[in-house]
Structures are given as structure tokens and as C-alpha cells.
Structure 1
Amino acid sequence: MNLGQNEVGLFPGQGAYRPGTLAESWERGEETVREVFDTIDEVYRFRTGRTVSSVVFAPEAPSLAEMLERHPDELQLAIYGVSVTAHRLRATQGTSPDLLVGHSFGEIAALVASGAYSVADGASIVCDRGDVLRSFAAEGAMLALRCGKARSELLLSLLGRPGLALAVDNAAEQTVLSGPSAELATARAVAEAIGIGVSEVSSPYGFHNDALVPAGRALAGKIAEYKTAPFTTPVHSPILGRRYRDDDDLATLLGLHLSHPVLFRETLLGLYHEGRRYFVELGAGDTLTKLVRAAFPLASAVTTLVNIEQPAPVPRPRLPIPVTAQAGMPVPKPRQGRHEVLSRLQELYAEALEYPVEVLTEDAALEADLGVDSMRQTELLTKARMLFDLPAPAPGFRSTDLDTLAKVTDYVTSGSR
């Protein structure tokens, strides 16, 4: 019996990586996880001689920053693989969504989940995408703005920089620009001057920008070599603004994705007006889940992997056998790894600030980059102390001294008093 009727499956895109996700299932030999990642490994090994599983399921899983710097291809395949796996795991529970929506890069996983492509061909498309971007993509980056589409478009018109584009419309107060780094620096300065909160997005390219048209054409040529099958589940594209059709030229449309904007807010609004009230995020983290909850408080939005397997940010080290506490002698709490602490802090701050987790990098200045004033910093640090059960700070302590997440992470891991 399919309990997923009227349920929308959301496939996250860039940045949807959490260290250690599905690692426990992989170690246990869970059939679905092994099947998907073995297939991805086979494709990647044939092309490069390397595997994805050896990186993402390592005892000390790399952080997002490390993956971006040292393993960019494995990062994309990991995001893809986790989403495909999440969809299959949900299907084993008899709750497959009856409509799929991919956010940017997430559309590849959505098309695979729909039956249009095989898991192996989807992995190959991810690899092809990385290859053409390296060969054809112009230098670029992305910048998140804490404002809506209308204000972002006004900012662009004021700037008059043709290389800049509104790349993503996520929410009423969340948009993303893309373009050359120098022009984004100007946009950032102007946005800050007029009171718009800004933050860099961890992205190697300026996606959803006309500068990527040549890369998109090259990608379409490569994708055209793969066979497609009829959709078993419909897929709605926030880039196309409609559902895919069986007679669509998927290769051409996927190539256009690199240069066309993601209108996710409009997609959610349209689905809600259709009567859709149940959404499930099929991937690591809960970025899209939070966007749904913020836009439609009465809708139900859940994160699949929390229900199937609560992923630790990194695999926890084996702890020594605890000593039984004797009267008056508390048992010391085990220390948490720095990666785990950072990941939990990123989720805490992202939820409070309503920012995507990926923009909350270690070195982002809380006030200068993210627009978090001193009162909000104190409030968030208080929540962090409660989350990690830290004692009250010593007299004279100033929360504003911890002006980046890196410093907050160091504060927590040191158990500062």
C-alpha cells in the first residue's frame, strides 16, 4: 500500500552534505545503501580509478569545506547518492511520494527516482556535469541575500552589472545572486550599505547564470548519449516551472539548468495552491524542510533520514566502558569531536536565522557577513550553551568576542567556563 499519496518528495541541491550521513547503515551492510553506493562507486572507479564510499564513509568523514576543496566530484556524487538512497529507503516503508521536486542540482536525483534514468546513468551525468564545468565554466561565485525577489531585482537594477543574475528565489526573505566574484563583491557592499543581510554560498561556480550557457550546451551533448525511460512518478521542475513530460528532451533541459534560475518559492506556492500539504526532504539535512515550514506553517514537512536513520555529523569514536558513578561522584561527559560540534552549531544557527546551512561557514563573520547583531549573538550563544550543557560563562565574558562559528565551535569543544 502506498501511503505517499499527495506527498511531495524534495531533493536538495548544492550544500546538502552532512558528514557521516548513512555511514552506520553502510557499515551494517544495509542492502539499499550498499546497492546505490556500490553502483556509484562502479561508475566513478571506471572513470577515475577512485571510489566515493572510501571518502564519505571514512572513519573521520570530511567536512563540507574539506569536500569542496579536496573532493569536489565525490561531494556531488555523495549528495546525489544520499538522495537516491533516501527515496529508496522511504519506498521500503511503503510511503513513496507521488510527486518529486528537485532543487537545482537535486533534479538529477529526482529524475533518477522517477525512473527516467538509471542510478548508474544518473551518476555518470553527475560526473559529466563536473567535467564540463571545469572545461567551460567561467569564474564565478554565489551570494545569499536576506531579502525577497523584488528587492533583489531592485538591487541588480541599481548595480547595473550585466554579469550578475538572480540565481535562486528560495523564500520571501531569501534569494541568491550569482556572477563574477568581483561583481558580487560590489553587490555585497551595496547590499550591506542598504541594510540587506548577506552571506557567501559555498559554491565553486556561479550557477544559474548566463555565463554557464556554454557549459550547459556541452553537458546537453553528453547527456544525449544516455537512454531515458517513461516517468513512473511525475517530477516538477522549479527551473522549468512545470512538470516534465515523457516527450521532453531531457538532455537539453538539464543543460539549461546551469544557466536558468531556480524559482523554488513560486514552486512551493503553486503546489500549496494545488492542495499539497505533505512534504518530505529526501537528502541530508533539512534546508528545504525549513523553507516549507517557514512559508506554510500549516503544512507537514519532515526529513526522511531523521526517521530512517538519525545521521551523526561524523561517526562517533568508540568510547571507553563507562565507570559506574558512585555516590557524590559524577561520571564525566564524553567530549564531542569538533566536526560534530560545528555541524550541530550550523544547524542551530541556520534554524534561528533562517539561512541555508551551507552559508554558515566557519569563517563567516556573524555580524559583518550574516547580519547577526550583538543581542542576537548573545541569544544564540545561550542556546548553544544549553544544547551542549555548558556552564555559565565567567564574569567579564563577552559573547561578541566569538564572532565566527569557528570561535564558537572552539569555545564549545574546549568546554569553556
Structure 2
Amino acid sequence: MDSVFVMPGTVAAPRGGILRDLHNRYETVREALSRIDKAAQEMGLPNISERLIEQNGTSDRRGPEVQYLEIFAVSIATHHMLIAEGAKPVAIVGQSIGELWALAAAGHLSVEDAARLAVARSQVLTRQSWDGKMLAVGVDGRRAESLAGLIDHPHLVLACENAPRQSVISGPEPLIEHVERVAEALDWPSLRLDVPHPTHTPAMAQAARDLRETAPRVPYGAGRWRVCSPWLGRDIGDDDPVDLVAGALTARVRMLQTIRELHAAGADVFVECGEWPVVTKFVEGSVPGVRCVVPLSESDPVEAVRALVAESAEMGPFRSRPAAPSSNGRGPVVPVREPVPAGAVATLPVAEVLIPATAPTAPVSYVAPVSDVAPVSVAPPVSAPAPVSAPALAASLAPAAPAAPVEVAPPAVAPVASPPSAGLDYETVLTELRTLYGDFLGYPPDLLGEDDGLESELGVESLKQVALLGRVSDRFDLPGLRANSALLTMGTLRRIADAVVQGRAEAAAR
């Protein structure tokens, strides 16, 4: 099997202690983390690896530079673990700033220089202090671009084409608010991406010039592995890293096209070098049935990699294989194109800023595919992001998304004519939620545990949760439920049922 390593871009700060086992096992991981710490110290930043090795808490939010270097540390450590266990990529792909991690992993530039360049990039973006936002929309790139074109502002653009039904729009915050309202009117799921620096728009031209003028020029070489650039639309060759990072700030990221081209060339396994499935969500949505592995999300990351390497050795390259079950104990790997209810696009799946339902907040980066939408007067999109953070890079024409396998959509939930009673008990609400979520997701209601993490265990991406929470809000006449972000970041049916019961009780008391 031919494997591609993928590096996430701007995602949530990693959990404390996430690299403890890798640090203890591998000398190459210890060396890479030591080099990142050394570069951080030279730039006046705190130790990067300490929290990732020793602590169990979440990030203390020490600023965007530290967040970027922590993401880099996780990506490069996972890469070294993969190589130490015998995994060999045919290519490495990075999403947005993840291209910088890919260059370091492939040996195009040193770990220290990659860290310095990441910090320089963050600093020029902070200095520009642009009042922009990135919005994930659950539609294809063509619709997303048309939506941005309706408003017709040079800085409001399609920033990322992540998957057939996930796009990211980047632009000034007031205009993003207009886009959100149009998307809501069309029942298109959308979600703002929580990234420190919105990018991939012409508005970043000044930051790009500043980076080219002030960033330290670093030595670079040919590298050990092929690095594919989703914004250049080609492999990286004798390209100066500073120019690459600066150019990406204003360019569109075409991850969808890059993934499909790699798959067409023989890649049948995509391994994410991050804590959560971000880029691999795009992969599953772009190439249904492809094998995706996220070692750090597995109960035993090293064993998951060893099993993959053993399977690759047994099957050999270019051999076809059926879709394999996930080794994380959370069920089979399925295409991102899950069944969705017929009708309005609101029922479409989406997500990309990831949020694990356990404790730490993961990056929202992916918007699950959505069913085709009937033409309407205005067409807004939803996407992720990619998290992230959402990367946008320029390249090639937007190919018409090949027809995905036809799936039978589960019946839409029938609207409830009568308003809900004021005093609902927990069990009644939970039963209704199981039916509503089960119908939407195509799951038998009795398989939906009240404490199952909606994203981490059931695979309900964040944008899809937004659409579902809207349905719950309408069903129980609780408009404020839509804005309860805690129900997304820590989503379980128990928490949602508790919120409904409490909300109805408060409504009755007024």
C-alpha cells in the first residue's frame, strides 16, 4: 500500500501529555522536540515540549506563536514515530501552515528553521491585526465562490476547497456576518473557525510582503520525500521556504484536488500526523472508502502504526484492498458521505474545527458532505477548517465533483405540530433526542448512548452538530439552545437532554 502523510494546519492546542509515550520511546522524537525548544528559547518563547510531555491539562493559551509550535511539535513527533516503525510515505501533504511542517518532515529545511519561520509568520499576521474571520460552509467550492461573488468585495473570497461538500470563506468580519445570514436563510450549515489569524485572502498581501522582507532566510535542500503543495498545485521543488509561506497567505488551498490526484496516482492510505482527524476528514469526503489512520487518536498509537506497516508489507504496493475497520475501536472507517435526510440543505453534515467529546477541545476542521441542494436565489456555503484555521491556497480549475456513490437518505424527521409541554422529564427528552439524532445520522436510536461523545465516538462533525442542535432548538422551542457552544465542544445526548429539561423548566417559570 502507498501511504501519504498529512500535516494539519491551525488546529486547537494539543492536550497536555499527548507526546509523553512517543518522547519516552524514540530518540528521534526527543531530538526533534529538543530542537524546537532550543529555537523557542532563542526567540524568547517558553518551553514548548514540557506541557506536551509532562502535563495532563489543556493549553494555557500562551499566545499564537506557542500554539503554532505545539502543533508543529505534535506533527513532527508523529512523523518520526511513523518512520521509526517502518512506515514510508510516497508523499507528504500539509494543510495551510502544515506545509511548513511537511517541509521539515521531508528534510527540505531544519526543524529549528521551520520553528523560526512559523513564529515569523505569526508575528507579521499579528502586526497586521486584520479584522477578518473564516467561515466553514457545507457546500462545494463552486457554490461557496458564487456566494462570495454576490457580495463582491476583493477581500471576501473562497479560501479553501477541502472536500466535495466543505468549503471555507475568508473575509472581513462584517461581510462574514452577511454570509452567515444568507447561509442560515438557505438552511446551509456554517461555522466560524476559531483561528488566531484568518488567512488565504488578498487582504493578507501586506503581511506577505512583510514576511518576505523580515523573515530570516534559511538554507533548504531537495528533501528526502516528495512534498505536495495544495496551494501551488504541484510538488515543491527548489522553492524558497519564506516565499512558500508568504505566498500561501493570500492563496486558495485546494486540498480536494490534491487528495484526488494522489489517490489517482496510487495512494490508498492517508496517515494524519496530528492529534485528531482533520485533514483525513477531507480525505474521506473526497475519496469514499479510502483508508485513513490517525495514530494519536488510537488507544495505542504505536500498535496502530505497526499493524499498518505489517499490513502494507503483506499486501505490497498498488494492491487493491477493501475498506478496513478503524483500529481505534470506534467502528469502521466510512466515507464522509454519510446518509443525510432528504430535503433542505440544513440536514447536511459538516465540520472542521474539531472538538473531542471527552475533555479537550479539538480543532474543528471538517464539514461533512451534504446532499445536493435544489437551486435557490442565493447559495451560501459551509466548511471547515480547518480547521483550522482554515487554509486557502490557489491552484487549478475547480473540477466538478465526481458523482459520489448514491446513498439512500433516511427519512426526514416529521415536524411536530404541537408545541412541547413546559415540564418535560429527562427520559422523555432523551427518547426524542435519540429518535431525532438517529433519523438524521442513519443510526438505530438504541445504539446512541447518552454519554457517547457525538464527535469523538459517533463521528458527528461539528458543523453537523450545529444543524442538529438547530433542530433540537426548534423542536423544544428553545431559541437560546443554538448559541450554547458547550453543547458542541462537549456534545453528548445527556448534556443536550439536561439543557432541554432545564430550558423548558425556566420557560415555564417565566
> Normalised by the shorter chain, which TM-score bucket?
0.7 to 0.9
Measure how far apart 1:300 and its partner are.
Answer: 1.5
Alignment of 1:214-293 (within 5 A): 214-223=206-215, 225-246=217-238, 248-293=239-284
1:185 match: secondary structure: helix
CA distance 1:60–1:32, shift in 2 (3 Å):
same
Name the CA distance, whole Å, in 2 between partners of 1:148 and 1:352. Answer: 9
Q: Name the aligned partner's letter for residue 226 of structure 2.
A: P
Q: Name the aligned partner's letter for residue 127 of structure 1.
A: V
Name the CA distance, whole Å, in 2 between partners of 1:200 and 1:351. Answer: 15
Aligned length: 363
1:117–1:229 Cα contact (<8 Å) kept: yes
Compute the TM-score of the two structures, normalised by the length of structure 1: 0.76
Name the CA distance, whole Å, in 2 between partners of 1:414 and 1:164. Answer: 35
Could you tell me which runs of 5 or more consecutive residues in structure 1 were left unpaired when the two chains were aligned.
312-337, 361-371, 389-396
Cross-structure match for 1:297: 288
CA distance 1:133–1:271, shift in 2 (3 Å):
same
Say whether residues 1:43 and 2:39 are aligned partners. yes
Cross-structure match for 1:22: 18
Name the CA distance, whole Å, in 1 between partners of 2:23 and 2:79. Answer: 20
Q: Name the aligned partner's letter for residue 270 of structure 2.
A: F
Name the CA distance, whole Å, in 2 between partners of 1:300 and 1:259. Answer: 32
Alignment of 1:7-406 (within 5 A): 7-15=3-11, 17-20=13-16, 22-25=18-21, 28=24, 30-57=26-53, 59-63=55-59, 67=61, 70-223=62-215, 225-246=217-238, 248-305=239-296, 306=298, 308=301, 341-343=358-360, 375-376=436-437, 383=448, 385=450, 387=452, 403=482, 404-406=484-486
Deviations 1:102-160 (A, max 9, x none): 11110001000111111111111111111111123522111111111111111112122
**Root-mean-square deviation over aligned CA pairs:** 3.7
1:387 match: secondary structure: coil
1:48 match: secondary structure: coil
Cross-structure match for 1:317: none
Cross-structure match for 2:508: none
1:17–1:284 Cα contact (<8 Å) kept: no
1:341–1:413 Cα contact (<8 Å) kept: no
1:240 match: secondary structure: coil
Q: Name the aligned partner's letter for residue 452 of structure 2.
A: L
Could you tell me which runs of 5 or more consecutive residues in structure 2 were left unpaired when the two chains were aligned.
305-354, 371-381, 389-432, 454-471, 502-510
Instruction: Give identity over the alignment, percent.
Output: 27
CA distance 1:49–1:110, shift in 2 (3 Å):
closer
Identify, as 1 or 2, the structure richer in helix. Answer: 1
Deviations 1:363-411 (A, max 9, x none): xxxxxxxxx9x934997898351527xxxxxxxx999666535147497
